[in-house]
Structure 1
């Protein structure tokens, strides 16, 4: 029997953390990203979260011209909600980070709500004897000195400039202090309800994976935002399905996809993002939870497709 509550599934199809050596199935080219995005939408995802990669070597890129073929193909083919990242590498300028969102005017853009510094990622280098591209190894070796800045100025400008096109923000909260940052920008009148809160568990430099942390984040969000927010959960790697299931039983939406996790089962790589979406959809269905369509998700999140640009 259905509970009557709708759960929004987001699929983050490629991201910027995983590299081509780590999985042959990771989408790299615009054509691969579009194909996997459409497949994920057909499998039940209401939102597709976009990053772009250089099609020659898989290196993450903020270039709107690289985004364009995938975004255009998905818009021609699907009613799915498009969510474009505003994050970027440690050396990316703000102009680089928001360029794609400014050009494509998506209904939704992700926004990291505080600065982060990754810990321990250099240890990934020892897991692979050979790397397809030199930049992959260099990416991980440089992790101990890397900071991903999200200062008050960066967040303010992102909200004002990207939000001027009608885009709403999915607030990425990697730790409890980031929830208070959302409240700060809400008090300043820059973020409007319903707030879209994505709580991120288990990423280096952020809050851990323990169950009490999820309860704590939910309790703080309830205190700060009352009923004026939509909550979603994501977690990396082998923890993805477990934490998403836990969150869904507590009232959250969920995010899966190869940005966060390359595997479907222990030791078995996911061959597509659609496989991950289908897996979490099956789990949610077994829990008697209904899956939100894109239009239902728009209503829940306070989105409007009317402003979308080409």
Structure 2
């Protein structure tokens, strides 16, 4: 019997623009359409960034709300995960979207160097946001750009500042942070089992290592992420036609590892999120 693998699609991100690949969705209408196509291809979690009119990273809760509402109306059982990432946004701006109470949100538990600056997550901010996530009933996905972030997450959990069973994601391939290496996935998976045994985990890598990271996670019982945020190419020299095309490839890949794309109901059960009527087939 195969085991489920949650497929997360990161539809937009903060870096690629339509000049890099015309398929990158940067306005809410196109983001919703792209999410629907990805859902139909096998993705059950949608990781959302929003952009301003000039395609720069934005923080306007109204934009987040428009994307979330559109996805919810078309795919009620898809999990919508807001990004609280740093590129082009202040600390205060990054977390404004939490007031919309999405089901999930990304959450980095430490600071790290990015190619052109520091992704700042000072200790006081980390602890304040952890408390807000609990108060607002938002499930975090801990983004591990540096292994210290994993140990900080375990510390928060031990102190009651994270709810049990978080989602934890290893992030590889961003310059100055963790390189895309299979040995890191082995180390990460082992540490997760020891430190946070009830966590679900996934790993991702940028650029040409995206598919490698999918394989490494599937082989070890983890979950996967794909999408135009992380890689605008389908293969060397060939731009991806859509987020759905990248999702479909990973969905097909699951069978090689005795896995299958998690259904919406399986995704919600694994993540400890409430079932919706659509997920139960009613």
Q: Does the pair score TM above 0.5?
A: yes
Aligned to 2:225: 255
The count of residues paired between Structure 1 and Structure 2 equals 275
- Counterpart Cα distance in 2 of 1:61 and 1:260: 18
* Runs of 4+ residues deviating >4 angstroms: none
Q: Which has the larger radius of gyration?
A: 1
Contact kept? 2:146, 2:178, Cα under 8 Å: yes
Contact kept? 2:57, 2:89, Cα under 8 Å: no
Which of 234, 237, 251 is equivalent to 2:207? 237
**Larger deviation, residues 177-186 vs 161-170:** 161-170
Aligned to 1:71: 68
Q: Which runs of 5+ in 2 are unaligned?
A: 277-282
Q: Closer, same or farther in 2 for the Cα pair 1:93/1:210, shift >3 Å? A: closer
- The structure carrying a bigger helix percent of its residues is 1
Aligned to 1:50: 48
Aligned to 2:241: 271
Normalising by the residue count of structure 2, what TM-score does the alignment of the two structures yield? Answer: 0.93
Normalising by the residue count of structure 1, what TM-score does the alignment of the two structures yield? Answer: 0.85
Aligned to 1:107: 103
- Counterpart Cα distance in 2 of 1:91 and 1:64: 13
Q: Which runs of 5+ in 1 are unaligned?
A: 120-142
SS of 2:136's equivalent in the other structure is coil
Q: After the TM superposition, which residues 1-310 of structure 1 pair with which residues of structure 2 at under 5 Å, given as runs?
A: 2-3=1-2, 5-54=3-52, 56-78=53-75, 79-89=77-87, 91-94=89-92, 96-103=93-100, 105-119=101-115, 143=116, 146-225=117-196, 227-304=197-274
Contact kept? 1:9, 1:46, Cα under 8 Å: yes
- Counterpart Cα distance in 2 of 1:280 and 1:29: 25
Contact kept? 1:234, 1:243, Cα under 8 Å: yes
How far did 1:23 drift? 1.3
- Counterpart Cα distance in 1 of 2:68 and 2:62: 10
How far did 1:8 drift? 0.3
Deviations 1:11-32 (A, max 9, x none): 0100112233211111111111
- Counterpart Cα distance in 2 of 1:248 and 1:287: 6
